[in-house]
Amino acid sequence: MSISLSSLILLPIWISMAQILQGGPDEKEKTTALKDLLSRIDLDELMKKDEPPLDFPDTLEGFEYAFNEKGQLRHIKTGEPFVFNYREDLHRWNQKRYEALGEIITKYVYELLEKDCNLKKISIPVDATESEPKSFIFMSEDALTNPQKLMVLIHGSGVVRAGQWARRLIINEDLDSGTQIPFIKRAMDEGYGVIVLNPNENYIEVEKPKIHVQSSSDSSDEPAEKRERKDKVSKEIKKRRDFYEKYRNPQREKETMQLYIRENGSPEEHAVYVWDHFITQSAAENVFFVAHSYGGLAFVELMIQREADVKSKVTAVALTDSVHNVWHQEAGKTIREWMRENCCNWVSSSEPLDTSVESMLPDCPRVSAEGSQFLPPMLFFTHLWSIGNKGKTEGTKQQQNHRT
């Protein structure tokens, strides 16, 4: 079906080329232009003419999904879990639908952070003008005033945003598995202040302005006859290109450009910015970090840039499947020594929970998270607090020894 349809669509171009090739030398320019047009027609893209519009709902209700009392995403009519292949043989359309749902879930998690966790949404940069791009983080009311403990959460890379560990787990499992909300609630129950970073919100996307290119023939010194012939060829090419464009890409999406957020243009920049403008201002005697995947790399980069400050303020760090590399990031000996004493990295492994896992890097200990393919920190929740309490105890002992 797709081959015959493609041939039917391309047939007028082939006929035109055959007619041109029978002409004289003056037709060479037309031949070159048509060959160029043919070379840029993607047969796979051509089939998008049968693709439904990329027009999706902007609410969970519009998708006919809702989270039930267990935090599971279910269809409101059938009670079934989310179905990715909503339309057979239309992977691109299904992926776009999944992404549209993911954006709604991101906003839904933001709402939960504010309503269920009572966190405040703080805009950054703190001195941003009205017109410049902005991002935000979330903080508890006592994040900067709690004199004892502060918990800082950093998620990994990709599409996840503040409050999430994994979008896939939120959609296919439940909110407890895929979000940071259980961590946040437990931390607040234990008397911690909380700061939730948003390291992937690095830019905003705006539509590219259309650039009008003036025709070169307007200022050309070419003879009028030749210029007229070229203009005629150009108009014919444009006419054909516009005609076939509706077949090649009927779902053409807007071309966008990225406007980066000042001092927050990458996860590493974001971690340093939040440290400088918020964490250093906190009254907490002990700061604890929980960092997943790329969040671990961002923390190590923070240590490299603010080593003395981090050592004086951070008590313990729990990493999960961290992708940091102390060699590639050029972390010094003193940083590696500090990480061995104050960090632990839980990694995917078939070994029993907390079993030591061999590492080629001379930094923090690596222990098993017992076979999880994707590792949300909830799997070893109680272990995190034991590390934090141990780190806090060691810090207190050092202070007492120093006083005596």
Distance from C-alpha of 107 to C-alpha of 277, rounded to nearest angstrom: 25
**Using a CB cutoff of 8 Å and minimum separation of 24, what contacts does 172-178 make?**
172/73, 172/81, 172/82, 173/72, 174/70, 174/71, 174/72, 174/73, 175/67, 175/71, 175/72, 175/109, 175/112, 176/71, 176/378, 177/376, 177/378, 178/376
Count of alpha carbons within 13 Å of 360, Cβ hemisphere only? 5
Residue spans of beta strands (DSSP E) within 140-285:
149-154, 193-196, 203-207, 256-260
* Spatial strand order in the sheet of 135-139: 120-124, 135-139, 193-196, 149-154, 286-292, 314-320, 343-347, 366-368
Residue 192 structure tokens: 């911690």
Residue 103 CA from chain centroid, whole number: 11
Q: Regarding beta strands 149-154 and 256-260, do their DSSP bridges make them parallel or antiparallel, or are they unpaired?
A: unpaired
Residue with tokens 């437990």: 186
Please say whether the beta carbons of 184 and 153 come within 8 A.
yes
Q: Is 192 left (phi over 0), alpha (psi -120 to 50) or beta?
A: beta
At residue 252, what are phi and psi to the nearest 5 degrees?
Answer: -55, 125
Strand partners, 203: 260
| Catalytic residue check, 2 | no
Angle at 260 between CA 257 and CA 266, to 5 degrees: 125
Tokens for 250, please give them: 């009927």
Q: Could you identify the residue written with the tokens 């403990």?
A: 149
Number of residues in the chain: 404
Please report, for residues 22, 25, 42, 225, 399, the alpha-carbon distance to residue 34 in angstroms, rounded to integers and kept in the order given.
15, 15, 15, 22, 79
Q: Which of the residues 177, 282, 293, 349 is marked catalytic?
A: 293
CA distances from 333 to 289, 316, 340, 345, 372 (A): 21, 18, 11, 18, 32
Catalytic residues: 293
